[in-house]
C-alpha cells in the first residue's frame, strides 16, 4: 500500500529540539519531492519545507535556520529536525509527497497522517 | 511580497447550489495552482492541479479555472459530503504558500 506514516510528535519545552520521521511505503521516496506542511490548532495549512530530487532543500521564512529537512534513502524515510522550538511552532505536522512529472510538476498528491508537536512549558 | 488570498472565507449554501471560491496569487504563478479539500479531522485531499486538471477519483462536479493571478474552484451542485475547508496552493516556486482557506457549509 502506498502510504506515509509520520511519527515523533511530542510535548517539548520552548527552546527544545525534536525530530519527526516520515516513513514511506509502496514507493521510493527519493524519486519524489517531499515536503513538510503544518497546521496549528484550528488554523489553516502552512508549508514548512521541501527537499527536491537530488537533495536541494528550501524552507519557509518562519523556520529557516531552526529546522532541517533530510532524507534517509536507506530506510525510505524523510525527517524534520527541529530546534529552537517556539510556542508558535505548535501544530500537527504532515509530510507530503509531490511527484515531478510532465503532469504533476511538483503538486502534492499524498499526505501522511500527521503528528502533533506541542511547544509549552 | 508573495501572497495567496481566498474569498470568501466562509460560505453557506443549499444542497444542489453552484458554489464558487476565488483564489488570487501574487505574483503571477501561470497555472501552478492546486486546490485541496480538507474535511474536519481528515487529511487534505488533492482536487485540482495545474489550475484546471481534475485529480483522478474526484467527482466531476468539481472544476477549476484561471491562470496568472486569478483562479476559481467551482462545485456545480453542492452535496452534503462537500462540507469542508478548501485551500488553494501555489507550487511554481518556493514558498509553496497555501491560501487561508474557505469553509463551506450546508444551509
The DSSP code for B13 is E
* DSSP SS3 for B104: strand
Task: For residue B100, give how far its alpha carbon lies from the nearest alpha carbon of chain A (Å).
Answer: 6
pLDDT at A102 over 90: no
- pLDDT, residue A104, reads 82
Give the DSSP H or E segment for A110.
strand A110-111
- Give chain A positions within 8 Å (CB) of B94: 50, 58
Work out the mean pLDDT of chain A and round it to a whole number: 96
What per-residue confidence (pLDDT) applies to B93? 94
pLDDT digits (tens, 9 = 90+) for A17-56: 999 999 999 999 999 999 999 999 999 999 999 999 888 9
pLDDT in tens, chain B (107 residues): 999 999 999 999 999 999 999 999 999 999 999 999 999 999 999 999 999 999 999 999 999 999 999 999 999 999 999 999 999 999 999 999 999 999 999 99
* pLDDT class of A74 with cuts at 50, 70, 90: very high
A contact test, residue of B37, B47, B95 with most A CBs within 10 A: B95
Q: Which residues of A touch B98 (CB under 8 A)?
A: 37, 44-47
- What single DSSP character describes residue B95? S
CA nearest to B4 within chain A: A46
In DSSP terms, B106 is beta-bridged to B13
The residue among A53 and A5 whose pLDDT is bigger is: A5
Contact A58 B95 (CB under 8 A): yes
Of A50, A104, A111, the CB nearest to B96: A50
Q: What is the dihedral of CA B98, B3, A80, B50, to 10 degrees?
A: 50
Return the number of other C-beta atoms located less than 10 Å from residue A121's C-beta: 9
For residue A103, pLDDT beyond 90:
no
pLDDT category at A75 given cuts 50, 70, 90 is: very high
Chain-chain contact of A104 with B85 (C-beta, under 8 angstroms): no
Segment A70-77 shows an average pLDDT of 95
* pLDDT at A113 exceeding the cut of 90: yes
Question: How far from chain centre, in Å, is Cα A102?
Answer: 24
- The distance of Cα B43 from the centroid of its chain, to the nearest Å, equals 15
Q: What is the DSSP letter of A31?
A: G
Nearest CA in chain B to A44: B100
Nearest CA in chain B to A46: B98
**What CA–CA distance (Å, rounded) separates A44 from A57?**
23
Burial of B75 (0-12, 13-18, 19+ CB in 10 A): buried
A112, three cell numbers = 501522511
First to last CA, chain B: 37
For A73-97, what is the mean pLDDT? 97
Buried b (16+ CB within 10 A) or exposed e, B35-48: bbbbeeeebbbbbb
- The C-alpha cell 443549499 sits at B14
What is the structure's pLDDT at A105?
87
Distance (Å, rounded) from C-alpha A107 to C-alpha A104? Answer: 6
Instruction: Answer for the pair A99, A32: CB distance below 8 angstroms, yes or no.
Output: yes
- pLDDT for residue A101: 82
Amino acid at each position: 500500500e502506498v502510504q506515509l506514516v509520520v511519527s515523533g510528535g511530542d510535548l517539548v519545552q520552548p527552546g527544545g529540539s525534536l525530530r519527526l520521521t516520515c516513513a514511506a511505503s509502496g514507493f521510493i521516496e527519493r524519486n519524489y519531492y517531499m515536503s513538510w506542511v503544518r497546521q496549528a490548532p484550528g488554523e489553516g495549512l502552512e508549508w514548512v519545507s521541501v527537499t527536491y530530487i537530488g537533495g536541494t532543500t528550501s524552507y519557509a521564512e518562519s523556520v529557516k535556520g531552526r529546522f532541517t529537512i533530510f532524507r534517509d534513502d536507506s530506510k525510505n524515510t524523510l525527517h524534520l529536525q527541529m530546534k529552537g522550538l517556539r510556542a508558535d511552532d505548535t501544530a500537527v505536522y504532515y509530510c507530503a509527497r509531490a511527484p515531478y512529472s510532465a503532469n504533476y510538476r511538483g503538486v502534492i498528491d499524498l499526505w501522511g497522517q500527521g503528528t502533533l508537536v506541542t511547544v509549552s512549558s | 511580497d508573495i501572497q495567496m488570498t481566498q474569498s470568501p472565507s466562509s460560505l453557506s449554501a443549499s444542497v444542489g447550489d453552484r458554489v464558487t471560491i476565488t483564489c488570487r496569487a501574487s505574483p503571477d504563478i501561470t497555472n501552478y495552482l492546486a486546490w485541496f479539500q480538507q474535511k474536519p479531522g481528515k487529511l487534505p485531499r488533492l482536487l485540482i492541479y495545474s489550475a484546471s486538471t481534475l485529480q483522478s477519483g474526484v467527482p466531476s462536479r468539481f472544476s477549476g479555472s484561471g491562470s496568472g493571478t486569478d483562479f476559481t474552484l467551482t462545485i456545480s451542485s453542492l452535496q452534503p459530503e462537500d462540507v469542508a475547508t478548501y485551500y488553494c496552493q501555489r507550487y511554481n516556486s518556493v514558498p509553496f504558500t497555501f491560501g487561508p482557506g474557505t469553509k463551506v457549509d450546508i444551509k
